[in-house]
Amino acid sequence: MERNSLNSLGVYRRSLALRDMTEAVAAYFAQNREILSLRKIDSFRDDISQSLLADADLITKELEQAALSNCPSVRMRSLSYVNIMTRNILAYCNGLERDGVKEKEYLNLLRKEIRIFRVSFKKWRKSLINKND
């Protein structure tokens, strides 16, 4: 697959939507308003926000790598990382909730976006695995 055709993949577009949603949630909950610049972390929420940003970005990068790679082992490693990163984002939502975030509807929106992404990801992963057989 070529880099230009990544946008034609539904799972890639879902990962971009997930990244955008994650950035918005992270920026909202961060106490340090410069969190998007990846500077000094001042609080637990800033740390979680930073981790949300990093993992959402990694999901997109690992999807790119899996889609563009011809090596099955590289693909499987990338697919495994995507699973880990989605679980991490859900755990970060739980951490923010336990930290006393009152605006749980934002966390629920992010969780819903993760669920939608995972459905798309699982379908795409099956097609990759079947293509390797």
Q: Provide the terminal-to-terminal Cα distance of the chain, rounded to the nearest Å.
A: 18
Average confidence score pLDDT of the chain: 87
Task: List, in order, residues 6 or more apart from 119 with CB less than 8 Å away.
Answer: none
Q: Give the CATH number of domain 1-130.
A: 1.20.1440.60
pLDDT digits (tens, 9 = 90+) for 88-105: 999 999 999 998 888 899
Q: Indicate the pLDDT class of residue 132, thresholds 50, 70 and 90.
A: low
Per-residue pLDDT tens over the stretch 29-61: 886 555 455 555 567 888 898 999 999 999 999
List CB contacts of 31: < 8 A, sequence separation 6 or more: 42, 43, 45, 46
The tokens for 90 are 């859900």
Percentage of residues of the chain with pLDDT beyond 90: 62
Structure tokens, 21: 């949603």
Is the four-CA dihedral 122, 19, 115, 8 of positive or negative sign? negative
